[in-house]
Structure 1
Amino acid sequence: MIIDVHGHWGPWFFHTDVADAAVNLRVMDECGIDVQLVSAVEAVVYDPLTGNPALLPVLEAQPRLRGLLVVDPRDLDLAASQLSSLLPTGLFVGAKIHTHYAGSPGGSAAMADALTLLASYDLPVLVHTWGEEIVDLADVVARVDGARVVAAHLGGPSWPLAPEAARRSDRIWFEPCWSTPAPGRIRWVLDRIGPERLMFGSDATLIHPAVTLGAIRAAELSPVEEELVMWRNAAELFGLGDAQTLRQPGIQTPSSTV
């Protein structure tokens, strides 16, 4: 069983072949991914107003895809409106905040306000982190009651700061996708934060999931670590159910890919 907590649907401004959900499903099948949490690229890089609703028919047609509702901390009135209207569909299981596109660093007051709003809906959120903001984000999470955050990319080149971020709050988890990962990164972080705090994410369709799967394979996870990292942590945080509920017929198991 594999749950990918960091996926996207829609065309990127520097690619032309990733607009169709069929691309998501193809790479999921290639890598044995059962369920992928996706945000609309349009909502991430351009406008949540149009991007979030555009994802609805895709989620309705593809039960292996679950939605992440993109929140721009600079426009929380829109976020509150969309949370009220889109969450009742049952198709969105979490939120997504991209700190750079939204101009709202992990340690900013705007981020604190956004996390406060999402906590009021008891909604976990995947937050883009790059650089030292991974620690700043953890400090904000610690201050916001009920906030539950997955720090995407492990802070990129600042991944050695992940253990410090984990110490700042017990309500922040970590996801390791990166297009140019450093050797030994996954094992080093895992040994310091524990397998309960790490979960698989790919950044598909921007990055092929094989990149992160290869990094995880190199970390030589134990069976217990593999279960937690590859699906159980995500299933519990995002309320996705057990393995029997999630597994789709004909999909490879993690043991054949990791």
Structure 2
Amino acid sequence: MAPVVTGVIDAHVHLWNRATDPQPWIDPTTMAAIDRDFTPGDLERMLDSAGVDAAVVVQASNSAAETRRLLAHPSPRIAGVVGWTDLTADVAAQLDGLDPASRRRLVGIRHLVHIDPDPDWLARPDVGRALDQLGARDLGFDLVVRWWQLPLAATVVAAHPGVRFVVDHLGGIAESDDEAGWEAGWEAGLRELACRPNTFAKISGLAGLVNGGDGARLRRVVDVALDAFGPERLMYGSDWPLAELGAGAVAWRRAVDELVGELSPAERQSIMSGAASVLYGLGG
């Protein structure tokens, strides 16, 4: 069980040291703002600036070694770690092999489904068996998918009612309206997932819409998510440091406050910490 956390929780941040965990996807020209290492000290400064108390650190590589390093970070501001383990291998042995002193900080598992060479990776029988093992160990599973993968994700979620799932970045909306039919497909897929009570979603990965001046689109997708999941199954996440490619983590926090400003205090509290506490078991 992860430590008890009170206050605002950023449910989605990353850390990386490229000497040990290379990030070859970072383009030094178009992604100059994140073309460096990000440490727990950097995280603490960001959280202070954004008025956030703690964060859940999410894997950035399909790497067991990265997960061990993330779990070993001593920062008290890290509420938990969503790591990686090979779901096509012996999950129990891999989890039991983690250092017992840091293993309690592991609150979930994620696999980079959206870039896996196998488009049907989520539907593999061995992955399905592994997901059930995660559920038995009270570990959630983060779904990082693109909007066209949502129907597959919904089928998998329905097949594993004992597992808590969370849809990262509201299901990977299209980067532009050039992708014909994305909005109807995205909304249908997200609503299908929301029909399953074991599924949550993160209002994250959207800071680019703030800086790009597409406030209407941002409002539209968040309203769909609020209607589909309700505040009790939605959570705030910055996707820092990737948020720095858009408006930045501080501006994103302000944007989310505005987006949920008309909700009741209890509903806002759920989005800003309560849902993450439930999903990731941060309540003690």
TM-score (norm 1): 0.79
Count of residues in correspondence between the two structures:
233
RMSD: 2.4
Change (3 A) 1:4 1:228: same
1:172 aligns with 2:199: yes
Contact 1:23 1:205 in 2 (8 A): no
Which residue of 15, 23, 34 corresponds with 1:9?
Answer: 15
Which residue of 234, 238, 251 corresponds with 1:198?
Answer: 234
Tell me the CA shift for residue 121 of structure 1: 1.5
Task: For 2:267 and 2:197, locate their aligned partners in 1 and report how far apart those are by CA, in whole Å.
Answer: 18
Change (3 A) 1:31 1:145: same
Contact 1:112 1:141 in 2 (8 A): no
Task: For 2:240 and 2:167, locate their aligned partners in 1 and report how far apart those are by CA, in whole Å.
Answer: 16
Contact 2:165 2:199 in 1 (8 A): yes
Tell me the CA shift for residue 101 of structure 1: 4.0
Residue 41 of structure 2 aligns to a residue in which SS? Answer: helix
Tell me the CA shift for residue 128 of structure 1: 0.7
Tell me the CA shift for residue 100 of structure 1: 2.6
Within 5 A, what are the aligned runs for 1:53-202? Answer: 53-58=68-73, 61-65=74-78, 66-73=80-87, 75-77=88-90, 79-86=91-98, 88-89=100-101, 90-103=104-117, 105=119, 107-109=122-124, 111-157=127-173, 159-161=186-188, 162-167=190-195, 169-179=196-206, 180-181=208-209, 182-184=217-219, 185-202=221-238
Residue 48 (structure 1) aligns with: 63
Change (3 A) 1:173 1:135: farther
Structure 2, unaligned stretches of length 5 or more?
1-6, 18-22, 27-33, 174-182, 210-216
Deviation string 1:4-49 (CA, Å, 9 cap, x unpaired) is 22111114442333332111111111111111111343xx2xx523
Task: For 1:87 and 1:122, locate their aligned partners in 2 and report how far apart those are by CA, in whole Å.
Answer: 18
AA at the equivalent of 1:241: G
Contact 1:122 1:146 in 2 (8 A): no
Change (3 A) 1:210 1:104: farther
Change (3 A) 1:211 1:132: farther
Within 5 A, what are the aligned runs for 1:178-257? Answer: 178-179=205-206, 180-181=208-209, 182-184=217-219, 185-207=221-243, 208-210=248-250, 212-219=252-259, 220=261, 221-241=263-283
The structure having more radius of gyration, on CA atoms, is 2
AA at the equivalent of 2:81: G
Task: For 2:118 and 2:160, locate their aligned partners in 1 and report how far apart those are by CA, in whole Å.
Answer: 16
Tell me the CA shift for residue 171 of structure 1: 0.5
Task: For 2:99 and 2:273, locate their aligned partners in 1 and report how far apart those are by CA, in whole Å.
Answer: 23
Residue 17 of structure 1 aligns to a residue in which SS? Answer: coil
Tell me the CA shift for residue 190 of structure 1: 0.4
Mean CA deviation greater in 135-144 or 98-107 = 98-107
Tell me the CA shift for residue 140 of structure 1: 0.9
Within 5 A, what are the aligned runs for 1:29-40? Answer: 29-40=48-59
Contact 2:235 2:270 in 1 (8 A): yes
Tell me the CA shift for residue 114 of structure 1: 3.5
Task: For 2:251 and 2:130, locate their aligned partners in 1 and report how far apart those are by CA, in whole Å.
Answer: 31
Mean CA deviation greater in 110-119 or 125-134 = 110-119
Residue 245 (structure 1) aligns with: none
Contact 1:126 1:150 in 2 (8 A): yes
Contact 1:196 1:233 in 2 (8 A): yes
Task: For 1:135 and 1:124, locate their aligned partners in 2 and report how far apart those are by CA, in whole Å.
Answer: 19
Task: For 2:42 and 2:77, locate their aligned partners in 1 and report how far apart those are by CA, in whole Å.
Answer: 13
